[in-house]
Amino acid sequence: MAQRLVTLSAAIALLALTLGPIGAVLIWAEGVSSLRPGDLAALRFTVWQAFLSALVSCLLAVPLARALARQRFRGRGLLLALLGAPFILPVIVAVMGLIAVFGQSGLINQAFAALGLPRFDIYGLHGVVLAHVFFNLPLATRMMVQAWLAIPDERFRLAASLGLSRRALFLTLEWPLILRILPGAFAVIFVICLTSFAVALTLGGGPRATTVELAIYQAMRFDFDPGRAAALALLQLVLGLVAGVVALALSPRQGFGVGRDRSVPRWDGAGRRVLDAVVIAAAVLFLLLPLGLVVARGVPGLSLLEGDTIRAAGHSVIVALASTLLCLVWALALSTRRGELLALMAIAISPLVLGAGLFLVLRPFVNPFSMALPVTALVNALMALPFALRVLRPEAESIRTDFLRLRQTLRLTGWAWTRLVLLPRLRRPLGFAGGLTAALAMGDLGVIALFADPDRATLPLQVYRLMGSYQMEAAAGAALLLLVLSFGLFWLFDRGGRVHAQSRTG
Amino acid sequence: MKPLTFAAGLVLATSAAAQTPVLTVYAPDYFVSEWGPGPKIEELFEAECACDLQFKPGDLLPRILLEGARTEADVVIGLNTDVTGKARESGLFAPHNADMAALTLPVAWTDDIFLPFNYGHTAFVYDTTRLDAAPESFDALLEAGDDLRLVIQDPRSSISGLALALWVDAIYGEEAEAAWAKLAPKIVTVTRGWSESYGLFTDGEADMVLSYTTSPAYHIIAEGDETKKAAIFPEGHYFMVELSAKLASTDVPELADQFLAFTVSEPFQSMIATGNWSIPAALDPSGWPAGFQQLDLPETVLFYSEEEAAERRDAAIEAWRSGLSR
């Protein structure tokens, strides 16, 4: 009973925070204004690029995750951790890194020119998809690997002793797993790409790459037409929900049952070492080269970092930790299928409209400027919630099913169940989800524009301020600091979650 | 007794603080960084006002419109002409009472609500070490080979991008769409804001970037680098001015007036050139820093009045959109 109350209040808080602000904007604007002819084209492009981005990310994630799950090599742990890095980069930094590799004067074109090949043009729909895959392939891969590791090893031993062929192994273990994870991963990536704006515009190369979020930006910032912004935001929300419903309908409920938590070496990787090595090497090049260039560009700027930037870094770390705590508690309370669907709304909602709505709601009660950091922490927790749930929910549900009899036999109370069974068994996904949240909360700008406080800037905001004042080198240094801190937090949480996993060999 | 003493102390402390009047100034975000003009403005003005100037950075007009008459702002600084129409309509702003005789703008300025403090012009900036000869006119830019790589900003999300759309509209009028279509193959990409474009330019991704005639001054003065130049076109350049204004709802109207007068006074004006990398709005060129005096500036300045700009805006953006989508 108490548990249902917790879930219910978490759901109500989530609904209030997503629909409340849109409602506030609608009331302020006195209704929705009609859409413009260009909005339909923007909608088509938005859905199409989000669909392609999610599809490619998910399709590529399967061979990569499989290679990472069945092979053991030096640096695998580090690589798994580094896979979190693209996802957590601030957009502007990642775009600069990608252009340094794939741009007109990027590494690839330099190599092409040296070989006498024609110039490769990144700008266009393929560029948008490439950038979104850069951000989201690692996420999808980590979700798959996470799930692969959650298959009890006894299942693989059984498969080995039955002498299953590779094909049979795929059909009995891997395919159900893919079915269980991919639709959800697809939905979450699709929804996050729906709200893409700066990436789509910069790599799309021009007005053909106009997204709904850009139209919202224009309505909110330039035309001061909150009614139109709210109408577009609602449209985006509906799209996100549809994607969520479809994904949940496609993913089956059953898990793989309970194991004894022992680790056995995978026997099925042996004959596929070369293939897996190629897959992993290609992914490493694609993902780490742009990151490497961000690092290389940032190093000279590190010496230019001054007090403001260091203070901003401190604020960002505090915000990130607060967001993580809030998000994990929230996610645990909501770790059901319906909860996950609700949470998808959080990222489908336009940050601009969310910010404006929160501003309108909070203003009668508090001074918005004093709320800059708490609001940022809250919104970041909200935005990270779908990712945290995507990681936590399938495992939490399996634990609930698998240990139901134990729970009933022992008559465990809600708290004892959470403390003795749920949390220890969720340790690995909790660490990963916590790392994702912390890193996302370091990087996100979201709603800060209306709540900015001169003395409490966050690090991403500081990067923009430096760029706006011609301090490109210092900005690159600050971006590197951001990358290091985001990654550091991600690594700490993720590692914390995996300590248990590594000590259980034997 | 103790909580009461504490509460009394709090009340006393707040009333003591209340004796120093506070001037709340909304400013664009980049103003308040240690590299922006905010800290210097605060220092100079507090030296003469016996007040506490507090900057609140972030969105300007959207925030004020959301807040309405209950806004905390006394003054807003850093508005652009593209929003003055909406701002005036809202009735939230009051006349500034400042003396406009001192203005040294290249266009006549008689607005009694929005007071300029610095200006510049849209221009394509290039690096002389990477581009031997820049196009000598806008026409020449349109006719230049397609290997010339430009990066510009989106007129729907950036003020400089909008100024470019109006610039093309002012030069080419009905032919604007065709002009954009000629420019299209040279445009590497369109970014959301100025920072992303300028970053791409300094990274070597583009030969020319849509920026301001004043951008080279930053490189000359701050970096001792004279290789960045603005290409000057005889057709003229679009005028971009930054404005401040007083809120009608301010509770410190005298202080707000004093601040606005300060923004066109000598101490502010001689600081703003290097503070905001723009041309002072009320300072004779002889008073400009040396780096500004050596800038190439256009002889013809194009500028739409508020009404004209409002009227041309949608058409100018549509010409941009359809010209580039061809």
- pLDDT surpasses 90 at A95: no
Tens of pLDDT along A178-196?
Answer: 887 888 889 889 988 988 8
Can you say how many angstroms the Cα of residue B152 is from the centroid of all Cα atoms in its chain?
17
Tens of pLDDT along A370-412?
Answer: 777 888 888 888 888 888 888 888 778 878 777 777 777 877 7
CATH class of this structure's domain A1-31+304-506 = mainly alpha
Question: What global pTM score does this model have?
Answer: 0.86
Query: Chain A contacts of B189, Cβ < 8 Å?
Result: 123, 202-206
Domain shared by B309 and B183, yes or no: yes
- pLDDT surpasses 90 at A41: no
pLDDT at residue number B280: 96
Residue B2 located in a structural domain: no
Mean pLDDT confidence for A52-80: 89
- pLDDT surpasses 50 at A257: yes
Measured between CB atoms, does B52 come within 8 Å of chain A? no
B160: domain CATH number is 3.40.190.10
Residue B4 located in a structural domain: no
- pLDDT surpasses 70 at A249: yes
Domain shared by B155 and B174, yes or no: yes
Residue B184 located in a structural domain: yes
Residue B5 located in a structural domain: no
Of the candidates A203, A204, A218, the beta carbon closest to that of B157 is on: A218
Domain assignments of chain A as residue spans, ordered by start? 1-31+304-506, 42-256+275-292
Residue B13 located in a structural domain: no
Measured between CB atoms, does B63 come within 8 Å of chain A? yes
- What's the CA gap between A494 and A78, in Å, rounded? 11
- pLDDT surpasses 90 at A332: no
Domain shared by B141 and B193, yes or no: yes
Query: Chain A contacts of B62, Cβ < 8 Å?
Result: 220-221, 224, 356, 450
Q: The tokens of B182 are what?
A: 């000629």
Query: Chain A contacts of B277, Cβ < 8 Å?
Result: 469-470
Residue B105 located in a structural domain: yes
Domain shared by B212 and B310, yes or no: yes
Exposure pattern of B202-213 as b/e (b: 16+ CB <10 Å)? bbebbbbbbbbb
Domain shared by B166 and B92, yes or no: no
Which distant-in-sequence residues (6+ apart) come within 8 Å of A467 by Cβ? A92, A475, B195, B196, B198, B199
Mean pLDDT confidence for B158-172: 94
Q: How many domains does chain B have?
A: 2
- Suggest the residue from B23, B70, B80, B203 to mutate for an interface test with chain A (most A CBs closer than 10 A): B203
Residue B225 located in a structural domain: yes
Query: Chain A contacts of B59, Cβ < 8 Å?
Result: 221, 449-450
Task: For A330-387, give the DSSP string.
Answer: HHHHT-SHHHHHHHHHHHHS-HHHHHHHHHHHHTTTS-GGGGHHHHHHHHHHHHHHHH
Domain shared by B228 and B261, yes or no: no
Mean pLDDT confidence for A429-448: 78
Q: What are phi and psi of B238, to 5 degrees?
A: -75, 135
Domain shared by B201 and B313, yes or no: yes
Same fold across A1-31+304-506 and A42-256+275-292 = yes
Query: Chain B contacts of A201, Cβ < 8 Å?
Result: 154, 157, 190-192
Query: Chain B contacts of A214, Cβ < 8 Å?
Result: 154, 156-157, 192
Of the candidates B34, B72, B215, the beta carbon closest to that of A306 is on: B34
Chain A, window 106-125: residues with a beta carbon less than 8 angstroms from a chain B beta carbon: 106, 123
- pLDDT surpasses 80 at A127: yes
Chain A, window 282-301: residues with a beta carbon less than 8 angstroms from a chain B beta carbon: none
pLDDT at residue number B15: 46
- Suggest the residue from B177, B188, B209, B210 to mutate for an interface test with chain A (most A CBs closer than 10 A): B188
Domain shared by B126 and B160, yes or no: yes
- What's the CA gap between B74 and B72, in Å, rounded? 7
Domain shared by B42 and B27, yes or no: yes
> Would you call B206 and A96 a contact, using CB atoms and an 8 Å cutoff?
no
- What's the CA gap between A106 and B297, in Å, rounded? 33
The SS3 assignment for B234 reads coil
Mean pLDDT confidence for B264-280: 94
Nearest-CA distance from B193 to chain A in Å? 9
Measured between CB atoms, does A231 come within 8 Å of chain B? no
Query: Chain A contacts of B320, Cβ < 8 Å?
Result: 207
pLDDT at residue number B54: 93
- B284: part of which helix (H) or strand (E)? none
Mean pLDDT confidence for A329-342: 84
A42-256+275-292: which CATH topology? MetI-like fold (1.10.3720)
Domain shared by B137 and B233, yes or no: yes
Residue spans of beta strands (DSSP E) within chain B: 22-27, 52-57, 75-80, 93-94, 115-127, 150-153, 187-191, 208-212, 228-231, 237-247, 279-280, 301-302
Which distant-in-sequence residues (6+ apart) come within 8 Å of A69 by Cβ? A144, A145, A148, A149, A266
Residue B1 located in a structural domain: no
Q: Decide if B168 contacts B110 (C-beta within 8 A).
A: no
Mean pLDDT confidence for A131-142: 91
Domain shared by B129 and B216, yes or no: yes
pLDDT at residue number B219: 94
Chain B, window 123-142: residues with a beta carbon less than 8 angstroms from a chain A beta carbon: none
Q: What is the mean pLDDT of chain A?
A: 82
Q: The tokens of A265 are what?
A: 């070496």
Q: Which domain holds residue B106?
A: 20-119+240-290
Measured between CB atoms, does B23 come within 8 Å of chain A? no
Nearest-CA distance from A152 to chain B in Å? 48
Q: What is the mean pLDDT of chain B?
A: 90
> Would you call A105 and B205 a contact, using CB atoms and an 8 Å cutoff?
yes
Domain shared by B64 and B149, yes or no: no
Q: What are phi and psi of B73, to 5 degrees?
A: -65, 140
- What's the CA gap between A103 and B196, in Å, rounded? 14
Q: The tokens of A167 are what?
A: 């094909």
Tens of pLDDT along B240-265?
Answer: 999 999 999 999 999 999 999 999 99
